[in-house]
Structure 1
């Protein structure tokens, strides 16, 4: 992968963790650079960024506290996503990661063309969140 795209992915990773960019801005920057999505893996603390041609880059992400229990709490993940979307003063991506792990989330896959995020547990249970439209309203699941 070319260095410019790696730099965009790296900047977005750091911006998520330092709070300087939110999810919509990060998606926009990555998509503009030609990425089609990314995978967050809490088990090995990495993020993999994918181009549509199959090329990818794996970056280490900052550690987040806590173990990942075997039970996956999809309802709790949904609640955490609403908390993140609300953008309150108590929100940080680091806290989101810690709370998601505590809810049994082993990671999540973000698809720009699919306009969704698939959260998954250690036993491959899933919870799907669709990207909100321009008004901020997520579409009804199909």
Structure 2
């Protein structure tokens, strides 16, 4: 991974938290920079960005106090995704993260080639969201 790609990944992560980049903008930027996807791990408080050749960079998420709940609420996670997609004035990525963790989401994997996001719980339960058309 070159320094420019690492900077782009950090810019996208910061843009999510700061509200300066939408999910579609982040996806477009990362794809345009050669990334294949990324994984958010709420238990380690990291986001890992992957290139197709297997290279990766791990970045720290913003510090949070909230723990991941044991029970996974797939419907609740889906509702949070719809809230994020609607991007209303009260939306923030930080609030999204806090809310899905309270619903037992331990993290999620974004696949650009698969055009989907797989949310997973501590018990390995999953919820899949396909990218909007």
TM-score bucket of the superposed structures, by smaller chain? over 0.9
Unaligned runs of 5+ in 2: none
1:52 to partner: Cα distance: 0.4
1:14 and 1:49 map into 2 onto residues whose CA distance is 14
Task: Confirm or deny: 8 A CA contact 1:119 1:128 kept in the other structure.
Answer: yes
**How far off is 1:122 after superposition?**
0.3
- Aligned residue for 1:35, secondary structure, equals coil
SS in 2 for 1:69: coil
**Count of residues in correspondence between the two structures:** 133
Question: Which consecutive residues of structure 1, in runs of 5 or more, have no partner in the other structure?
Answer: 134-142
Q: Secondary structure at the match of 1:62?
A: coil
How far residue 64 of structure 1 moved from its aligned partner, in angstroms, is 2.9
> d(CA) in 2 for partners of 1:67 and 1:108?
15
Shift of 1:65: 3.6
Q: Deviations over 1:81-124 (max 9, x none)?
A: 00111111110000000001000000000000000000000011
Distance 2:2 2:67 in 1: 35
- Runs ≥4 residues deviating over 6 A: none
Deviation of the 1:67 alpha carbon = 1.3
- Residue equivalent to 1:131: 131
- Compute the TM-score of the two structures, normalised by the length of structure 1: 0.92
Q: Is the 8 A contact 1:70 1:122 kept in 2?
A: yes
Tell me which moved more, 113-122 or 63-72.
63-72
Asked if residue 42 in structure 1 is aligned to residue 42 in structure 2, the reply is yes
Which residue in the other structure is 1:69 paired with? 69
Determine the structure 2 residue equivalent to 1:140.
none
In 2: Cα distance, 1:83 partner to 1:2 partner: 34
- Maintained 8 Å contact 1:43/1:106: yes
Query: 1:108 aligned to 2:108?
Result: yes
Q: Cα offset for 1:69?
A: 1.2
